Structure 1
Amino acid sequence: MFLSEKYFNAKKYEEALNNYKNTLRMQEHYTDIEINFLEGKIHEIERPIAYLYYYKNDEKLAIEYYIKALKRKKDYLPALRELIKLTENNDTVETIATFNDLYDRNNLEEMRLLVEELTKQRSGKLLAYYVAHMNSQFGHQDFSMVIMLLANKKYEQAYRQFYEAYKINYENTYARLAVVAALLMNDKVALLNLANLVKPSFKRIIEALVLGNDEVYLYKEDLKDFFDIFSELIKLKEDNYFDCLINLKDNFVDEILGIETAIGNIFKDEGNYDKAVEMYMESIRICQANEQQKKELKSLYFMIGYCYYKCKSMQKALDYFDVAIETGYLENDIREFVTWIIDQTEDGKLKGHAQKLIDQFDNDKLHVLE
């Protein structure tokens, strides 16, 4: 198990996967008399196996291992969070069946656990189903009901709830969600009403959104709230509003190095690879014009290659992995992804290109070690 973790941290993913699976086989056949602490940690092995299968573009096996981990420990939140993300675009009926098999619909605590994580993920139809079930089965109502309205495009109802909640206790969470709901309502009056109540960073962001120009300045202290609002829109998959938030980065008075990359990372982490690529491309243009930032280029080329790999656009993935290696990217994960492309394609030309990159990587790595 420890060897698996070492391989994982060294980005030698195939070795990590083989050793994690070997750990499970050894545990299954363990018959000695020594105390074995591994018994209670199996779920912590099944989760990285799932994640590695996700890396390999084998979502079916990834889901299988997440389910195994959660069957052993239902409150293992990292696995639950990743399973929700992995299944959110699948057939809703099938996904509900999966979660009904994992969590007892007649157990209030298990339903609370599931609904709390679905709430954090803004999981639309799934959240609506389980919130309705909690209400009908247990008469249970909480904040998840308002998030459910937001996640299912009931923006006006959600806005009223967030607005009233904010006026009662002035929690920044309610302010952020009220801003998001008002923006999605396309209601400038509601936004300006909020601007008179909220803290200065939200006020400046609102005014910049409403005015739609560069006359309102944003500052470094506004950055966290800017990213929090952005993350909400991405989780809610409100593509039509991405550009208006992205454009606000130009309103920052202070130079925010890497803001385009940070936005790209948010898109990538939420599985929106097309928009991630757009932001990484913009970041590359900026880095190419700035001598101090040129060292970031190799990582940006790698991330674009990774995004294309996850979209299964293997030729584009190889093209950008190629440039990443040429510019000095020698982290082992690039070798793993290129190797997996060989496994995932029948195209002889692609296989040849990939093998050439592996040889180039190994050669460059050897020179660095020497």
Structure 2
Amino acid sequence: MKLSACMIAKDEEKNIARCIESYKDVVDEIIVVDTGSIDKTVEIAKTLGAKVYYYEWNNHFAEAKNFAIDHAKGDWIVFLDADEYFVNNTAQNIIPLIQRLNPSFNTIACKMKNIDYVNGKMLDEITHVRIFRRDGNIRYINSIHEILVDKTKNKILKAFLTDEKELLIHHTGYSLSDRGKKAERNLELLLLELDKAPDTPTIYHYISDCYFAIKDWEKSIEYARLFIHSGTKFVGYNVKPHQNIIDSMLRLKFNADAILEEIHIAINKFPRHPYFRFYLANLLYDFKKYDEAYNEYLMTLKLQEEYEDIEINSMPANIHYVYSFTGIIACYRNNHEDALNCFVKSLNLEKTQPDHLRRLLMIIKDFPVEDIILLLNSIYNKDDKEDLDFLVTTMAGVPLPQVLAYYSTLRIKKYGSDDLTVVYMLLANRQYDKTFAIAQKCLHEDPSNKTFAAIVAVSALMNGNGEYLDWVEEHASEQMQRFVKAMTKYEVFVFSQEYKEEYLNLMIHLYLFGTKEILNRGVQLAQYFGEKIIYAELGDLFFKYENYTVALELYQRYMTQAEVKKDDLVNRIYTVGLCWYKLREYEKAVTSFIEAYDLGYRRNDIYEFLRWSMDRLPKGNRLEERFLEIVAKIKI
């Protein structure tokens, strides 16, 4: 038995060697049909032993591929595009696979993973036929988006489906960054064949894809529906029109009920496909129906684990989101052990998500420093510059100065430094003299830099050096001068709302790098603002950093000292309930939630937190009757 490898190519010098080298040791001949290259494609192909034929391009992919087949002599044909290649040396399994194949099979289908060639991340996976018996009736059809068919009357191809451990292909022909350009090119060709669509409805499918790629959501929906209504089955791509419709509706901000209806249509049609459960989970999460969303995320994971279908599946590239959302919901439930496990799984799949890392760090911030570093080192490579940069940048916004100092020092020792990395390291190590000197220099170079303005002030305040404080009072912005004077000399000022942004920025840096005593002095500055909304905004800052005790005090000051509009008051009372909930003061939490409900708070999250709080209180407590009344109204 002989094996031929075929390919059509144009200007593929970056890809062709990788493709050919992935199978050249197992094939008997390599056929490359060049359709007009002006780079080194042909030269590289010949160097690798390929027979090169030339084809005058006529905008017809199927005819070019059939031209290649006509030159093949093998019993079976491997037909990959130049930007496809077998991975993990799986091409070695092709001949043994064919030898044990039942003669009734004339094609072999295998898993293909589409990889974004810009960032190397997986986009989705699908099953494709890339190996087939050389038979005069097995030919490609369609000028674009060509497919393999058996042209024998009343006969269809019979494919043997391999496991990805046996055969696996990576495809690097697409990137989210430039798919619009390719879609515009393809759309132009497809619209020329639109009159054929009633007889070849797959044209509707491809047109829908193109419109989606160029962000014409309405047209994408229109052509997706035309394909679905045709009743045509398109092996591997039957789910795609439904995804185009749902994704387009989401982008067009359709009514949630209409989107939910489309999701359920797809779930009923493809009950084993995980991606539609993912849509449902995300929508429930947006509705703030967290328990229902959590269960749907778990169902998504279960379906993905069991998934063996051949339909295109984008779920593997999005599993890290499933874990992150279940982690967030676990945090909401005060189940930090579950949350920690979820965020670790998420980051092990996609480690450059700053929000996921920040949430993990906030969970483990009270762990021993050595344990935190050990955990992070299991996820990140401390010898990799990009990993170190990501860690330092993200941790600069989390109150873990010793851990930040560890990774900042590593970054500087291995790869040099920029001023901000050095400053973070020095601040974390409490070397305020050096911090002040660098931040002072940077502020001279860029007086508008708010980060270095705050760092100069924090360094001077923490050091207590009179010269440093005098410099801030003379050279910093008017706002920062007054903040420092009020904190050190106890001068009294009236701050306008224009001071708010710089004040809150200072407070963030004091929270991250200051002592409790200095931070408290910073909090006291809020009393000098004319508009007392500053207490609420400062409370939000402490809430973000999970210092719920201080957040509670600030919210209470706001509600007692300011004339608060009803809508804002309702939201603040609800947030007070959240603070009590996170502090595990569940009776106080329920009291606040009920007060917010009675004043008109009706978003779904209040029912979730009410239920979770009541579940932690003893049965027959004084609030149970009112809680049951609220629950009864929800059901109505």
Specify the structure having the higher radius of gyration (Cα): 2
1:88-133 CA distances to partner (integer Å, 9 max, x unpaired)?
1112121111111001223232222222222333521111222333
In 2, Cα distance between equivalents of 1:65 and 1:59: 10
**2:629 aligns to what?**
360
| Contact 1:267 1:273 (C-alpha < 8 Å) held by counterparts | yes
Counterpart check, 1:249 vs 2:521: no
**1:273 aligns to what?**
548
| Contact 2:323 2:343 (C-alpha < 8 Å) held by counterparts | yes
Q: From the superposition, tell whether residues 236 and 313 of structure 1 become closer, same or farther in structure 2 (CA, over 3 Å).
A: farther
In 1, Cα distance between equivalents of 2:293 and 2:546: 24
| Contact 1:11 1:333 (C-alpha < 8 Å) held by counterparts | yes
Question: Cα offset for 1:262?
Answer: 0.8
In 2, Cα distance between equivalents of 1:169 and 1:286: 38
Counterpart mapping for 1:162-173 below 5 A: 162-170=439-447, 171-173=449-451
Name the aligned partner's letter for residue 62 of structure 1. A
In 1, Cα distance between equivalents of 2:332 and 2:293: 12
In 2, Cα distance between equivalents of 1:294 and 1:139: 54
Name the aligned partner's letter for residue 538 of structure 2. I
Name the aligned partner's letter for residue 571 of structure 2. S
| Contact 1:277 1:307 (C-alpha < 8 Å) held by counterparts | yes
| Contact 2:385 2:415 (C-alpha < 8 Å) held by counterparts | no
In 2, Cα distance between equivalents of 1:353 and 1:13: 26
2:602 to 306, 311, 330: 330
Counterpart check, 1:307 vs 2:576: no
In 2, Cα distance between equivalents of 1:363 and 1:328: 16
**2:417 aligns to what?**
141
**1:221 aligns to what?**
498
Question: Cα offset for 1:30?
Answer: 1.6
The SS at the match of 1:120 is: coil
1:230-268 CA distances to partner (integer Å, 9 max, x unpaired)?
11122236321233223323333xx43522111111111
Question: Cα offset for 1:36?
Answer: 1.1
**1:159 aligns to what?**
436
**1:130 aligns to what?**
407
Counterpart mapping for 1:50-199 below 5 A: 50-136=327-413, 138=414, 140-142=416-418, 143-170=420-447, 171-199=449-477
**Identity, % of aligned pairs?**
24
TM-score, L = length of structure 1: 0.88
| Contact 2:576 2:589 (C-alpha < 8 Å) held by counterparts | yes
Name the aligned partner's letter for residue 110 of structure 1. D
Which shifted more, 238-247 or 72-81? 238-247
Name the aligned partner's letter for residue 85 of structure 1. M
| Contact 2:408 2:424 (C-alpha < 8 Å) held by counterparts | no
Q: From the superposition, tell whether residues 176 and 354 of structure 1 become closer, same or farther in structure 2 (CA, over 3 Å).
A: same
Question: Cα offset for 1:364?
Answer: 5.3
Counterpart check, 1:316 vs 2:316: no
Give structure 1 stretches of 5+ with no counterpart: none
Q: From the superposition, tell whether residues 32 and 279 of structure 1 become closer, same or farther in structure 2 (CA, over 3 Å).
A: same
In 2, Cα distance between equivalents of 1:310 and 1:172: 32
1:233 to 510, 518, 532: 510
CA RMSD across the alignment = 2.3
**1:202 aligns to what?**
480
Counterpart check, 1:43 vs 2:315: no
**2:148 aligns to what?**
none
| Contact 2:347 2:357 (C-alpha < 8 Å) held by counterparts | yes
Question: Cα offset for 1:60?
Answer: 1.0
| Contact 2:578 2:589 (C-alpha < 8 Å) held by counterparts | yes
Q: From the superposition, tell whether residues 276 and 54 of structure 1 become closer, same or farther in structure 2 (CA, over 3 Å).
A: same
Question: Cα offset for 1:64?
Answer: 0.7
Q: Greater share of strand residues, 1 or 2? A: 2
Name the aligned partner's letter for residue 285 of structure 1. T
Which shifted more, 243-252 or 71-80? 243-252
Question: Cα offset for 1:157?
Answer: 3.0
Q: Which has the higher contact order (CA 8 A, sep 6+)?
A: 1
Counterpart check, 1:259 vs 2:537: no
Count of aligned pairs between the two proteins: 357
Q: From the superposition, tell whether residues 257 and 363 of structure 1 become closer, same or farther in structure 2 (CA, over 3 Å).
A: farther
In 1, Cα distance between equivalents of 2:378 and 2:432: 32
The SS at the match of 1:190 is: helix
Name the aligned partner's letter for residue 98 of structure 1. L
1:259-314 CA distances to partner (integer Å, 9 max, x unpaired)?
21111111111010100000111122135xx3x62443222222112111111122
In 1, Cα distance between equivalents of 2:428 and 2:592: 35
1:296-344 CA distances to partner (integer Å, 9 max, x unpaired)?
3222222112111111122222222232223232222122112112444
In 2, Cα distance between equivalents of 1:298 and 1:169: 42
Question: Cα offset for 1:365?
Answer: 5.2
**1:283 aligns to what?**
558
Name the aligned partner's letter for residue 504 of structure 2. F
In 2, Cα distance between equivalents of 1:294 and 1:257: 15
In 1, Cα distance between equivalents of 2:431 and 2:579: 32
| Contact 1:204 1:217 (C-alpha < 8 Å) held by counterparts | no
Name the aligned partner's letter for residue 455 of structure 2. L
In 1, Cα distance between equivalents of 2:465 and 2:496: 25
Name the aligned partner's letter for residue 461 of structure 2. L
Question: Cα offset for 1:18?
Answer: 0.9
Name the aligned partner's letter for residue 26 of structure 1. L
In 1, Cα distance between equivalents of 2:434 and 2:399: 16
In 2, Cα distance between equivalents of 1:10 and 1:48: 13
| Contact 1:318 1:353 (C-alpha < 8 Å) held by counterparts | no
In 1, Cα distance between equivalents of 2:553 and 2:460: 27
